[in-house]
Structure 1
Amino acid sequence: MNTLPMSVVHRLPQSYRWAAGLAGGVVEAHTLNTLAAEDDLIGLRLLSHDGANAWEIMQKLRALLAEIQVECTLMEWQGEPCLFVQRSDESAATVRLKNQGVAIAETFIAQPV
């Protein structure tokens, strides 16, 4: 049986896009003054594992998304394996991962009391 160890992913805070002429190969973060578009990418980074184990788990997550026809690209971003998914597929991707037992870490800003 091919099981997935307990995994926690974090949605990277920026939006991304394919670098000019390099779709599927190189991503770049949006500048702050750029409006988000449906064809933007979101990035998912694994928090629960690192090294070779992280790459293996991310391959399994990519396969889970492929089962429901959500296209994503697994590549290195800032030294770590990350999945990049079209913004328009973000909801489907996160629901699929949650249904398979993957925890999604949320970013929040603490409000002063």
Structure 2
Amino acid sequence: MNTLQLSVVHRLPQSYRWCAGLAGGSVEPLEISALAHDNDLIGLKLLSHDGELAWDIMHMLKASLVDIQVECSVVEWQGEPCLFVHRDDESATNCRLKNQGVAIAETFSATNPF
């Protein structure tokens, strides 16, 4: 079975930007109070694998996105490989990854309406 079909990613909760002079190499989180801009980044973290396999899978995800001309980078964030894409490309990214069999974990609140 394809390794990508066994993969689960989760969107990191913050928005990011490239560190000055390090586009594609290093990111920093944006302040919560900062307004969203078109050049902001979103990050995806792999939940299903870790270690060297996680790096390999993230590079496969990147290659899949590059095939549809989505600019992205795999960058270490808090000790783990994460895939960063422009905010404007989030929908295309999610669609492509889902079509490749990657599960995307969504955050939701479990509030009881009763």
TM-score of the pair, normalised by structure 1: 0.93
2:24–2:75 contact (8 Å) kept in structure 1? no
The corresponding residue for 1:3 is: 2
Q: C-alpha root-mean-square deviation of aligned residues, in Å?
A: 1.4
Q: Give the distance between the partners of 1:57 and 1:25, measured in 2 at CA.
A: 18
The 5 A counterparts of 1:12-51 are 12-51=12-51
Q: Give the distance between the partners of 2:109 and 2:28, measured in 1 at CA.
A: 25
The 5 A counterparts of 1:1-113 are 3-5=2-4, 6-112=6-112, 113=114
Aligned to 2:3, the other structure's residue is in SS state coil
Gapped runs of 5+ residues in structure 2? none
Report the identity percentage: 66
The worse-fitting range, judged by mean Cα deviation, of 86-95 and 22-31 is 22-31
Gapped runs of 5+ residues in structure 1? none
Q: Give the distance between the partners of 1:66 and 1:4, measured in 2 at CA.
A: 18
Aligned to 2:93, the other structure's residue is in SS state helix
The alignment of Structure 1 onto Structure 2 pairs a total of residues equal to 112
The worse-fitting range, judged by mean Cα deviation, of 24-33 and 40-49 is 24-33
Once the 2 structures are TM-superposed, how far is the Cα of residue 21 of structure 1 from its aligned partner?
Answer: 2.4
Alignment-mate amino acid for residue 23 of structure 1: A
TM-score of the pair, normalised by structure 2: 0.92
